[in-house]
Chain A
C-alpha cells in the first residue's frame, strides 16, 4: 500500500524550546485508515508531536506534510478531527448545550450566513447517535460526567466527517466501563468507516489488540509496525525508560 500518499509525512523533525530538545530528528509516515497509538512517558513529547502535526506549534527544523501539502498550504482541515487532552475539562460556566458543541463540528464547513443545511443537521444527529449522547442533547456540557463529555467532544469531531481522528489521552478521569465502551467505538470507526485513528495514551495494554502501529515517543520516536511483538523490543523499553508491559490477547469489555 506504500504507493499511496501518506496523510502525515514527517521528515527530520526537531523541536527545541529554550535550548532543550523536546523532539529530535523524528521521521514518520501515517497512512489512511491506520490505527496508531502514540505512547511514551509524561514529558516525552507525545502531545508536542501531535501539536506539530496539527500546525499548532512550529518545528525548529525539518518538515511536515499533510496529504502531500506543506502545513501552511493545507486547507482541508475538516478532514482532521482533533480532541485535545483538556477537552474533558470544559469550563463549567461556558454556555453550551451538548447540541451547541456538536454543531461546532459543522461550523468550519458551513457557508457564511447560512443556517444548518439538512445535511449538516443529519451529520450532527448521526454523530450524537453514534456516541450515544442523543438523550443528553439539551443538557449543559458543564453538568456532564467525564465520560459523557468525552463522547460529546468526539461527536463534535465526527460531525465534520473527518478522515483522521486524533485523540490526546481522552480517557483521563473516565471510569473503566466507559473506557472499554470507548475503545470498542474507536475500533468500529476504524474498521467500518476507515477513519485513521491516532491515539495518545500511556495505557497501551488496553488497546494493544487493535492497534496496527505504535509510535513510542521519548525525544526520539521509534515505530513498531507489529505492536504485539513490539514490547519485546529492547530498544523500546529503553526509550520508555521503564520496563514496558503489554498483555497479549488481552480481551476487554465485551
Chain B
C-alpha cells in the first residue's frame, strides 16, 4: 500500500477515484430510486463520443466528454417529456446511436488503439494532473448541487406527482439531476471506463438498499461501498496490471453478492 502510494500516478488515481466514488454513489441513490439506472449507461456511451472527438481533434477528451454527455442528457429529457416514446426506448436508441458515432469518429481519425481501450475500461495509469484538476472542479460543482437539492431529489424519487403538487419544481430538478449525472459519468471514464461506470453508480446503492435502512443511512452505506470498491479495485489493478474499471466493478459486485446473502429473506 505504502509503496503503491509513493508513485505520483497512483496518488492522482486515488484522489480522482475517491472523488468519483463519492459522486457516483450519492447521485446513484437518486438515479436508482427514480428507476433511471439505465441513464448512466447511455450517458457513458454519449461521453465516449466526446472522448472520440477529443482524441481525434487533439483536445482534452475529458472536457469534451463532459459537454457531449450534458448535451445528451438534455436531449434525453427533452425527448422523454415532449414525445410519446417509452423512456427505456429513448435510452436504448441514444446508447447505440452514440456508440456507433464514437466508433466512426475514432476509426476515421485513425485513433483506434490503446488509448481508446483505457477510456473503455478505465486505467489508473492515464490520470494526468490536468485530469485531477478537472475532476476536482466539476466534481465540486456536482457535489454542491446534489447536496443542495438532496431533499427535493429524494421527494421526487419517492413520488413525482406528490412532489409536484407540493410545489416542488419537478421538471427543473429532473433536468438538473440528469445534468449532474452526465457530468459525473464523464468525469468517471478515466478511472472506471465508459463500459463500466454504470455499475459504479448503480451497484453500491442497490447493495445498500438490501439492508433496509432509511434514506440517510442508505446513502452513507452506498458511499462506503463505493469507496471500498474503488480503493480495493485500484489496488488490485496496480498489483496485477489489470484495467481499473474492471477490478472496481468486480469489487463492488462482491459487496453486492455479500449484501444479498446476509439480507436474504428467511
Contacts and interface: CB of A to CB of B under 8 A. Distances in A.
B214 A108 contact: no
A74 to B, nearest CB: 9
A142 B165 contact: no
Contacts of A78: 166-167
Contacts, number: 78
B158 interface: yes
B165 A80 contact: yes
Given A84-B161, A112-B148, A112-B149, A96 B166 contact: no
B151 A110 contact: yes
B166 A108 contact: yes
A84 B215 CA distance: 22
A100 B214 contact: yes
A55 B161 CA distance: 10
B162 interface: yes
A215 interface: no
A108 B166 CA distance: 6
Contact of A99 (B163, B208, B214, B218): B214
B130 to A, nearest CB: 31
A94 interface: yes
A113 B150 CA distance: 9
Nearest to B149: A112
A84 B162 contact: yes
B164 interface: yes
A140 B167 contact: no
B155 interface: yes
Bin chain B's interface residue count.
Answer: 20 to 34
Contacts of B151: 103-104, 107, 110
B165 A56 contact: yes
Interface in B105-163: 148-149, 151-152, 154-155, 158-159, 161-163
Nearest to A86: B159
Contact of A108 (B154, B167, B218): B167
Contacts of A56: 161, 164-165
Contact of B214 (A82, A93, A96, A112): A96
A75 B167 contact: yes
B214 A77 contact: no
Bin chain A's interface residue count.
Answer: 20 to 34
Contact of B152 (A54, A82, A107, A142): A107
A77 B213 contact: no
A160 B212 contact: no
A97 interface: yes
Highest count of chain A CB atoms <10 Å: which of B33, B161, B164, B214 = B214
A97 B218 CA distance: 11
Given A104-B155, A107-B151, A140 B214 contact: yes
Highest count of chain A CB atoms <10 Å: which of B155, B168, B216 = B155
Contacts of B215: 95-97, 100
Contacts of B148: 112-113
Contacts of A97: 214-215
Highest count of chain B CB atoms <10 Å: which of A80, A100, A110 = A100
B188 to A, nearest CB: 23
Interface string B195-219: 0000000000000110011111110
Contacts of A109: 167
A140 B168 contact: no
A101 interface: yes
Contacts of A75: 167
Nearest to A166: B165
A100 B33 CA distance: 15
Interface in A57-110: 75-78, 80, 82, 84, 87, 93-97, 99-101, 103-105, 107-110
A101 B158 contact: yes
A105 B168 CA distance: 11
B212 A77 contact: no
Contacts of B216: 100
A155 to B, nearest CB: 13
B208 to A, nearest CB: 8
A54 B214 contact: no
B166 A140 contact: no
Given A75-B167, A100-B214, A160-B166, A94 B161 contact: no
Interface of B: 33, 148-149, 151-152, 154-155, 158-159, 161-168, 208-209, 212-218
Given A77-B166, A95-B212, 13 more contacts: A77-B167, A82-B162, A82-B165, A95-B218, A97-B214, A101-B158, A104-B155, A104-B158, A107-B166, A108-B155, A108-B168, A140-B213, A142-B212
Interface of A: 54-56, 75-78, 80, 82, 84, 87, 93-97, 99-101, 103-105, 107-110, 112-113, 138, 140, 142, 160
